[in-house]
Amino acid sequence: MNKNLSGKVALVTGGSRGLGAATAAALAEQGADVAITYVASEEKAFSVVSALVNKGVRAIAIKTDQGDPDGAELLIREVKEKLGKLDILVNNAAVALQGKNIDAPDIDNAAMDRQWAINTMGVIANIRAAVKVLPEGGRIISVGSGLGTRVAFPGTTDYAASKAAIVAYSKGAARDLGARGITVNVVQAGLMDTDMASESKDKLPPIIMESHAIRRYVTVEEVAAAIVFLAGPDASSITGSVIDVNGGFTA
């Protein structure tokens, strides 16, 4: 059966768990071949790959550190070598260092800088490397956060800003790449019950759930569905946009 993304090759960074794994699965459901990246969780990455292959698509896992400025070129080259091309880039990998105000005496600025390197400069490096190979009609979708629009809690400054920067970069890239039919968008997720959320759960104020109109976690499948829509043919006129899948966090 011909599916929406049959014949397409997608790269999902941070596909070993959480939203990245759900997005890789949702893209494969639509027929895309999928490369995922991971930095540490080799076993989980291989198990995601097996599940993707069981859906009848080609799938590979690539170990790479998104905080390494030289990693992006090598990553895109490897996807091209192993899967033949790249049509869809999903920038999902990120870290979330939250819980300390910027004037906390023990704030770890080196760790904050590494967060910027992964969440912002790593994403930009992936986009810069991908635009060299993306064809007409290519897609770039980056995962942001509701905190990129509404910084509702103290202790989230660097993380929120690292995500907000991606919005402006994506809008600019949409302008630069529009003539090639390449769309560039951001999907801003709300709180999802992944490892990332559980790592910061005790440090975040309890009102965080109340700040989401739906009063529950957003599921990874709900966010993945928006990403898959943006990756597909029906979204060809959506570019430079920010789609909030955040349960009303910014309502």
- What is the contact surface with ligand NAP in residues (CB under 6 A)? 13-20, 37-41, 44, 64-67, 92-96, 118, 143, 145, 189, 191-192, 194-197
39 or 236, CB closer to ligand NAP? Answer: 39
Give me the least distance between CB of 240 and ligand NAP, in Å please: 19
| H or E, element range at 185 | strand 183-189
Alpha-carbon gap, residue 131 to 127, rounded angstroms: 6
Q: How many CA atoms lie within 13 A of 27 on its CB side?
A: 31
Structure tokens belonging to residue 231: 């990756």
Give me the least distance between CB of 158 and ligand NAP, in Å please: 12
Nearest residue to ligand NAP, by Cβ distance, number only: 18
Give me the least distance between CB of 125 and ligand NAP, in Å please: 11
Q: Is 38 a catalytic residue?
A: no
Q: Which residue has the tokens 């709300």?
A: 190
Q: Provide the b/e sequence for 46-66 (b: ≥16 CB within 10 Å).
A: eebbeebeebebbbbbbebbb
20 or 232, CB closer to ligand NAP? Answer: 20
47 or 137, CB closer to ligand NAP? Answer: 47
Give me the least distance between CB of 105 and ligand NAP, in Å please: 26
57 or 118, CB closer to ligand NAP? Answer: 118
Neighbours of 215 (CB within 10 A): 10
Known catalytic residues? 159
